[in-house]
Structure 1
C-alpha cells in the first residue's frame, strides 16, 4: 500500500480551508515541519487546544513511518505537555521512528520553538495497514 496525501487532511491537506496545511519533509525515518497554529485552534484565549498539539505530534509520527514505506494508523498515542503552546507563534514539529516490531512501528515526536525548547512530546504505537484496508 502506498502512502498518499489526498490534500483534504485537517493537518497536512493543502486544499482543506480550515486545516493547518502543514508542509512536511519526511525521509530516512524522520519528519519535520515549521508552522504556526491559527487562532481558531485555541482552547483558552491565546493557547492552542491540547488536542491539536497531540494531533500534530501524531501526524509527525505517521509521516516518519511513511518515510520508510509504511502506511500506518495510530494504535496508541501518549502525549506529554510541558508548556502552553501559543497561537500565531512559529514552532517546529519533528517525528522519528524508533523501532519496527512485527506489525507495529514505534515512533516519537516533539514540538519545539526556534530555540529548541520543548513544548510537548509524544510516543506512538502505529499499526501497519494491510493493502486495501483503508
Structure 2
C-alpha cells in the first residue's frame, strides 16, 4: 500500500508531520517533537495528534507482517506534552493471528522519561 502522501509520514505530502520510523528488535520507534502549531490548549499538544502518532507507530509495527488497517484504537493519556518537547514513540505487536494483530504503543518524554500516553489497537490484515 502506498503511503507516500500520508499525513503523518508521507514524503510527498507538503503538510506531512515528517514522522520517521526505524526498527530495533522488531519494535517500531520514532523520535519526534510537535511544533507549537499543534497545540490545543495553550502550551499543550492536542491529544488527537498524540493519538494519531500512536496509531501510526502501531501501523508500522504491523506493517512488517503485511498491510493492515486499524479497526480499534484505545488511548490513555498520562501527562501533558508541551510544544517542542522531544519524545520517543514505540509500537509493537502483542498478539497475532492470520487475520489480525493486537498492538501496543507508548509515547515517552525524553527529558524526564515520563509516560505521556499509551495505546492499544487492533489491526486487520488486508490484501494489498
Name the TM-score, length of structure 2 as normaliser: 0.91
What root-mean-square deviation, in Å, do the aligned CA atoms of Structure 1 and Structure 2 show?
A: 1.5
**Cα contact 2:79–2:114 (8 A) shared by 1:** no
**Cα contact 1:14–1:22 (8 A) shared by 2:** no
Question: What secondary structure is seen at the aligned counterpart in 2 of 1:64?
Answer: helix
User: Which residue number corresponds to residue 104 of structure 1?
Assistant: 100
Distance 2:102 2:54 in 1: 13
1:27–1:63 Cα change, 3 Å: farther
From 49, 60, 73, the counterpart of 1:77:
73
Name the TM-score, length of structure 1 as normaliser: 0.87
Which runs of 5 or more residues in structure 2 are unaligned? none
Length, aligned pairs only: 127
Distance 2:36 2:12 in 1: 19
From 27, 32, 35, the counterpart of 1:30:
27
Which runs of 5 or more residues in structure 1 are unaligned? none
Is residue 125 of structure 2 the alignment partner of residue 125 of structure 1?
no
User: Structure 1 residue 47: deviation in Å?
Assistant: 0.8
Query: Residues 27-83 of structure 1, C-alpha deviation per residue, up to 9 Å, x if partnerless?
Result: 65310000111111111111111110000000010001112x221110000000000
User: Structure 1 residue 116: deviation in Å?
Assistant: 2.6
